[in-house]
């Protein structure tokens, strides 16, 4: 603080009054600025607790495949009865064995770190040296990754960073720290997230490739993710991503850009397949728990999109709560295991929307 010579008593009172008025004005401005910043998803601090409290908004364009609400008479695929039947039979098998369907939460999902513009950036290294990796390595040169960030537990070690102030997103597969440095096996980066169609294209970032992305379909790992705030609100206003035990080989349906499916059968579900619950079904009459009701209504209004394979059982994905520091799912699920939470959803009432099926690498 700058020290000044002692003023007279009268002058001191005047200065103090002006100083008090100035401090009040500054406090009001700071409060307004803080509120405006939080409304834009850009908190002033960047520690883990602030990141966790940052208001979230729907990712991707309002008319993207993830956010566009389905019309009741949306056209069905000619193979709807066949593939919906295959899916329903798989769910029945999993329920009989009590292995699925499941909701990944604290493992094999993704934490979403929403960071402010002022978040310090770090370089994330990339495995391999093949020429096609150069552009992604450049995209990972400066990532606003919080120092205390933790990738999801499990073999895939996913992590997502969203920066609303710059409208950018980074996602990682196989993220780890090695001798103090962040390194990823693969991933993707996206500019203009709010205008994105919801999958990685060549326009996603300078030098982007269609094979970018932390999933095997180039559908972002945060796309179709069930958010904690959504379950608390009892409303999910987007399509939900699902993984199936395996997918059709060498064929994918839009919006999937690639696949690692291994099934060479026409009755195999392809990556990108878009299912919905029958719009004639009275979902609210099913007596579902609140979280299951929100999921079922989203499946009816927006659908379920096949994003990956598990080689085990059908899975949905809820955001990893690591950024919040606590696990809210026991309370949100009413103490139920995911299998029991989803038990009342009639997967035998699914329909398959018209597919744009094509060969992929």
Non-local (6+) Cβ contacts of 345 within 8 A are: 277, 286, 288, 292, 295, 296, 299
Mean pLDDT of the chain: 88
Q: How confident is the model at residue 117 (pLDDT cuts 50, 70, 90)?
A: very high
Tokens representing 288? Answer: 């579902």
Single out the residue of 142, 164, 160 nearest to residue 150, CA to CA.
Answer: 160
Instruction: Supply the pLDDT for residue 361.
Output: 78
Residue 39 confidence (pLDDT) above 60: no
Give percent above pLDDT 90 in the chain.
84
Q: How confident is the model at residue 360 (pLDDT cuts 50, 70, 90)?
A: very high
Cα distance between residue 21 and residue 3, in whole Å:
20
Q: How confident is the model at residue 37 (pLDDT cuts 50, 70, 90)?
A: very low
Non-local (6+) Cβ contacts of 229 within 8 A are: 56
Instruction: Supply the pLDDT for residue 48.
Output: 41
Q: How confident is the model at residue 56 (pLDDT cuts 50, 70, 90)?
A: low
Average pLDDT over residues 222-243: 98
Residue 348 confidence (pLDDT) above 80: yes
Residue 41 confidence (pLDDT) above 70: no
Cα distance between residue 275 and residue 242, in whole Å:
10
């Amino acid at each position: 603080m700058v020290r000044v010579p002692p003023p007279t008593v009268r002058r001191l009172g005047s200065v103090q009054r002006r100083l008090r008025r100035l401090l009040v004005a500054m406090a009001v401005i700071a409060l307004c600025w803080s509120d405006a910043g939080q409304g834009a998803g850009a908190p002033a601090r960047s520690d883990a607790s602030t990141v966790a409290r940052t208001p979230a908004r729907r990712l991707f364009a309002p008319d993207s495949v993830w956010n566009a609400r389905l019309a009741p008479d949306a056209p069905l695929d000619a193979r709807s009865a066949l593939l919906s039947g295959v899916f329903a039979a798989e769910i029945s098998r999993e329920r009989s064995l009590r292995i699925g369907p499941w909701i990944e939460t604290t493992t094999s999902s993704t934490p979403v770190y929403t960071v402010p513009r002022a978040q310090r950036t770090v370089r994330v290294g990339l495995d391999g040296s093949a020429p096609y990796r150069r552009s992604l390595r450049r995209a990972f040169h400066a990532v606003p990754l919080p120092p205390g960030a933790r990738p999801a537990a499990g073999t895939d070690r996913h992590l997502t960073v969203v920066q609303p102030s710059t409208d950018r997103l980074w996602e990682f597969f196989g993220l780890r720290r090695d001798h103090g440095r962040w390194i990823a096996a693969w991933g993707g980066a996206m500019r203009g997230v709010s205008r994105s169609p919801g999958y990685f294209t060549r326009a996603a970032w300078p030098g982007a490739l269609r094979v970018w992305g932390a999933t095997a379909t180039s559908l972002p790992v945060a796309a179709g993710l069930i958010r904690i705030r959504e379950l608390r609100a009892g409303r999910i206003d987007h399509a939900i991503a699902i993984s199936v035990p395996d997918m059709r080989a060498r064929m994918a349906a839009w919006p999937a850009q690639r696949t690692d499916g291994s099934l060479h059968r026409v009755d195999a579900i392809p990556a990108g397949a878009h299912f919905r619950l029958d719009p004639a079904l009275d979902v609210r009459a099913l007596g579902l728990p609140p979280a299951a009701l929100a999921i079922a209504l989203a499946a009816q209004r927006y659908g379920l999109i096949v994003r990956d394979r598990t080689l085990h059982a059908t899975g949905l994905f809820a955001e990893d709560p690591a950024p919040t520091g606590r696990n809210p799912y026991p309370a949100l699920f009413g103490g139920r295991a995911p299998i029991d939470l989803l038990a009342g959803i009639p997967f035998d009432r699914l329909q398959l929307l018209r597919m744009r099926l094509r060969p992929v690498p």
